[in-house]
Chains A and B, each alone.
Chain A
Amino acid sequence: MKTKISFIFGLITLTFLLLILSNDISAQPKVFMSETSWDLGIIPQGSVISHTYWIKNIGTDTLRILKVRPG
């Protein structure tokens, strides 16, 4: 009886630990941008134009923006 209780308790603990571990492993950042291109249309010469894009983390871990390189 005691052995059976210990076994069940051990099984529950193991299951609980596995659940915690699997959450940590599966945590992933996920980048989302609703818009990645923009048509300015007709632009006057000799001017500085800017357009803003929004970048969002829809994942389950911290998203790091490592580099933004023109090209």
Chain B
Amino acid sequence: MELAVGDSTEIALIFNSKGFKGKVQKGAKITTNDTTVTGLYISLTGEVTNSDSTFPLLILPPHLDFTPFFKEKVMVKKTGIKNVSHKEIKLKIIDSPTGYLEVRLSSENIKPSKEIELVAKLNSKLNEDSFNKSITLELNDKNKTRFTIPVKRDAKVQ
């Protein structure tokens, strides 16, 4: 692939967490004709867990699936985010797939044992039948804990 002066392009790093548990790191090495850069490396890190061990939040469902149901397009999906700790949590969306979804939280504050909603609305002009994307949330705790919600659509009708 060639990029003219001033142009840019995107590279997606895709990771399948099936079969993994605990801390993971995946990456890729990019080689270009820029001789001043010998090793360009992009990486993803994370912690793979099951939905029972995602303290201080419980996100159900943990995935969003926009696969069409009986030829009817699915345009809006929601997930519940519950605060299972004893402290109030503030959170924000720090990454969402541009051009695919419009994502919003029903509130940026969650009191202990309370729940909010994350609503994802599909871009009606999207041409892709299949995709795998993700939404990342970040908490205001001392560790800036992050949660990533996978979003997908399969071309095959359910």
Q: Specify which of A36, A47, A71 is in contact with B40 (CB 8 Å cutoff).
A: A36
Within 8 A of B (CB), among A16-71: 28-31, 33, 36-71
Q: Mark B1-15, 1 if CB is under 8 A from A, else 0.
A: 111111111111111
Smallest CB-CB separation from A46: which chain B residue?
B18
Chain B interface size range? 35 or more
**A: number of interface residues (CB 8 Å):** 41
Partner pick for B3 among A37, A38, A55, CB 8 A cutoff: A55
- Bound Cα distance from A40 to B45, whole angstroms: 6
Tell me how many residue pairs across A and B have CB atoms closer than 8 Å.
Answer: 196
Residue from B4, B14, B29, B31 in contact with A49 in the complex, judged by beta carbons closer than 8 Å: B14
Binding site for A on B (CB under 8 A): 1-18, 20-21, 24, 26-37, 40-51, 54, 59, 62-63, 95, 97, 132-134, 136-138, 145-150, 152
A interface with B by C-beta (< 8 Å): 28-31, 33, 36-71
User: Could you write out 28 A-B pairs with CB less than 8 Å apart?
Assistant: A28-B35, A31-B30, A36-B42, A36-B43, A39-B45, A41-B137, A41-B148, A44-B50, A45-B17, A48-B132, A50-B12, A50-B15, A52-B11, A52-B12, A52-B13, A54-B10, A55-B30, A56-B3, A61-B5, A63-B33, A65-B3, A65-B30, A67-B29, A68-B29, A69-B31, A70-B26, A70-B27, A71-B27
